[in-house]
Structure 1
Amino acid sequence: MTISGIPWSARVLSGSSTTASGAGFLTPIAKPKRRWKGKTLLIWTVVGAIAVFALLSLIADFHGLVSALENFPPHILLEVGLLALGNYLLRFIKWHWYLSSMNHRIAPGPNALVFVSAFAFTVTPAKVGEFIKAFILKARYRVPYTVSTAVLLMERFTDVLAILLLSFSGLLLGSLNPFWTGGAGALIVVFLLLVRNKKFVRAIIEWLGRFKRLRGITEDAHEFYDYGWGLMAPGIFTGSMILSLAAWFLEGFGYYLVANGLGFHLSILEGVFIYSASIMGGALTLFLGGLGATEGSLVGLGIIFGMSNSLSVAAAIIIRIMTLWLAVVIGWLAFLFTPTLRSLLGASYEDEPPTSELL
């Protein structure tokens, strides 16, 4: 059995509600009235970016900030942009591998378009907007939501775990408490062991099924877990973690290049730690792709490592433009220049999902 209708994540983007009984929050209303608010999301994304950069400029000496940005070597912007593209490529390889392992083999070109289109929705709470990929996969390729959701959550889980492991590099710098870091590492290991234990997870699902509002989703939850469990097979999990670690290391290395391009010497290890710890801090806020919290962490850690206010703010602005906002631009370009994807922004959920070619 697969989940029918529109996934919860897609309804979050559209603003539609859910039924109060039956399958609970996973059951879509038959004929929701609201439509995609693509233009509204774009406007709020731009407003959010302007607000964050304006707040950052207040922290720094304005003239010092302008001077730092004006004197930044242009060739480093290109290098950092290429590193960010490398991050996207490695993560796409993982995404494509996951789907293929689920026997949903989509041509690399169209699948890459599905993957990058979700970047347009990066600046949403907990990046839930990126679950638009599940909607597109269902619309074009009839991939069940149980499959796509398992892939999406495993993709997100391995990314978060990789960023967390990279932030543990602070141990080598003396920036992290070994006791707390060891405790966090132990919790991760215990969590992985529990998730791999089928009897334990199935017992949890059955227990949750005793609650009236969750009773209708137990069968789907079991199917979803079976797909996710397959993606946690040792070979697939190890390979996906290697891809995730490499992908996020590239962006951490990009921060190292930015800091040194501004004239402040940071080691690669320091750069990777500052960037990964800041991304993790932003992720924990669950707010609009970490917007604001990540920039604040970048500035704060930069100052702790000896950067001036102006340089730390300049570094935060540059690295976020060349990573987060580059991804958002690529995502919106994918939507705006692809008719099928663009039609989703104005599609009503009471209609059948568009099934025309993506390319």
Structure 2
Amino acid sequence: MHGLKVGRAVIAFLLMTIAYIGTLLWVDQGKGLFSGIHRLYSVLPTLVLISLLSYLARYVRWHWLLARAGVSIRPLRGFVAYLAGFAFTATPGKVGELLRIRYFQPMGAPPALVLSTFVYERVFDLIVVLCLAGMAASDFGIFPLVLVFVLLILSTVFLLARYPGWLLHMARYLERRQMGRLARLADLFARGFAHTKVWITPLDVLVSLVTGLVAWALTAYAFVLLLDHLGLDVPALLAFSLYPVAMLAGAASMLPGGIGSTEAVLILLLAGLGVGLVNGTIAAIGVRLATLWFATLLGLISILILESILKPDGKSTGPSLGTR
């Protein structure tokens, strides 16, 4: 299992990287879009550090929710397990991050609870990113479209949480059709969505909003810092809102990790503010290197660490990383 899990992650990362570079080269077509990539070298370490702080803020929320559900996780081990999910973050809806089930289950968090935490996290991420995207989305006249997309997702989550029986009926149907694996998956999602109601309390909502706001505001600030480093004259408040808009567009595209769509929207938004194609492309590549690609690399490293301390059956082999 160790080799299989790590092998899949590495292969996915390599394929994603090859596809990304190939697409960029195809788009370039001699336009010299990469002539200024060297301008990113000095600012990338700072952007990466900001991203790491953002992940830490998101993990604080994750740890809080598990603790409120009665599951005590050692912070360091839990943080590494949380980062491991990023190895497959470039999947539609980021569902690949549910890999965390494998690493949180030995720590006492049942699969359905990990899924619940993931769903709850996604809901507040959408709300916070929508708020941050408001200025730019309004400026470009696309706020109604962005709002409809977010409300559609939130409504779907609300209905599945309110009426988990729909998924349970699907699970029973799949079971009768001898589709056991899909039936178990539907049952897991039914219990996962249903459990999110446990955290509908003023305190949990407040903590989730604040930590989410800190996390995504840091990411938005990293893009502002990048634009300033590149010498691009974009109003700071508007610049702060640009990357959140692009992230929502990437999510709406349902492409893995929003690869290509997020960059394209970001370049178009910058072009609408008078930023040239070359500079816009460099900015888009820079922020994605410091977010999506850095997160994926961190996830791979975390998987390697965690798999080295797990038995073949997925149980911990000992007290590494602060386990009991």
TM-score by length of 1: 0.75
Q: CA separation in 2, counterparts of 1:261 and 1:103?
A: 45
Q: Assess if the C-alpha contact under 8 Å between 2:6 and 2:300 holds in 1.
A: no
Query: CA RMSD for the aligned pairs?
Result: 3.3
Match of 1:229 among 174, 183, 197: 197
Q: Assess if the C-alpha contact under 8 Å between 2:246 and 2:265 holds in 1.
A: yes
Alignment partner, residue 117 of structure 1? 84
Match of 2:95 among 121, 124, 128: 128
Task: After superposing the two structures, state which structure 1 stretch, 220-229 or 272-281, moved more.
Answer: 220-229
Alignment partner, residue 163 of structure 1? 129
Q: CA separation in 2, counterparts of 1:223 and 1:40?
A: 28
1:94 CA drift (Å): 0.5
Alignment partner, residue 5 of structure 1? none
Deviations 1:266-314 (A, max 9, x none): 2232223221111111112332222222222222222222111110111
Alignment partner, residue 11 of structure 2? 43
Alignment partner, residue 354 of structure 1? 315
Alignment partner, residue 255 of structure 2? 287
Deviations 1:117-156 (A, max 9, x none): 2122222343222111112111x22321121111111112
Amino acid at match of 1:228: T
Instruction: Tell me, yes or no, if structure 1 residue 69 matches structure 2 residue 50.
Output: no
Q: Assess if the C-alpha contact under 8 Å between 1:68 and 1:314 holds in 2.
A: yes
Amino acid at match of 1:354: K
Q: CA separation in 2, counterparts of 1:106 and 1:188?
A: 30
Q: Assess if the C-alpha contact under 8 Å between 2:309 and 2:316 holds in 1.
A: no
Q: CA separation in 2, counterparts of 1:185 and 1:122?
A: 19
Alignment partner, residue 24 of structure 1? none
Q: Assess if the C-alpha contact under 8 Å between 2:40 and 2:286 holds in 1.
A: no
1:111 CA drift (Å): 0.8
Amino acid at match of 1:151: T
Q: Assess if the C-alpha contact under 8 Å between 2:86 and 2:299 holds in 1.
A: yes
Counterparts in 2 of 1:332 and 1:101: CA distance versus 1, 3 Å: same
Alignment partner, residue 70 of structure 2? 103
Q: CA separation in 2, counterparts of 1:203 and 1:166?
A: 34
Match of 1:93 among 22, 43, 60: 60
More helix by share: 2
1:320 CA drift (Å): 0.9
Alignment partner, residue 273 of structure 2? 305
- Any idea what SS the aligned residue of 1:168 has? helix
Q: Which runs of 5+ in 2 are unaligned?
A: 177-182
Task: After superposing the two structures, state which structure 1 stretch, 289-298 or 305-314, moved more.
Answer: 289-298
Q: Assess if the C-alpha contact under 8 Å between 1:96 and 1:108 holds in 2.
A: yes
- Any idea what SS the aligned residue of 1:169 has? helix
TM-score by length of 2: 0.82
Q: CA separation in 2, counterparts of 1:95 and 1:40?
A: 25
- Any idea what SS the aligned residue of 1:250 has? helix
1:227 CA drift (Å): 2.1
Q: Assess if the C-alpha contact under 8 Å between 2:115 and 2:189 holds in 1.
A: no
1:183 CA drift (Å): 5.6
Counterparts in 2 of 1:286 and 1:238: CA distance versus 1, 3 Å: same
Bigger radius of gyration: 1
Alignment partner, residue 231 of structure 2? 263
Counterparts in 2 of 1:57 and 1:188: CA distance versus 1, 3 Å: closer
Alignment partner, residue 176 of structure 1? 141
Match of 2:299 among 331, 342, 358: 331
1:68 CA drift (Å): 2.5
State the identity as a percent. Answer: 23
Counterparts in 2 of 1:141 and 1:311: CA distance versus 1, 3 Å: same
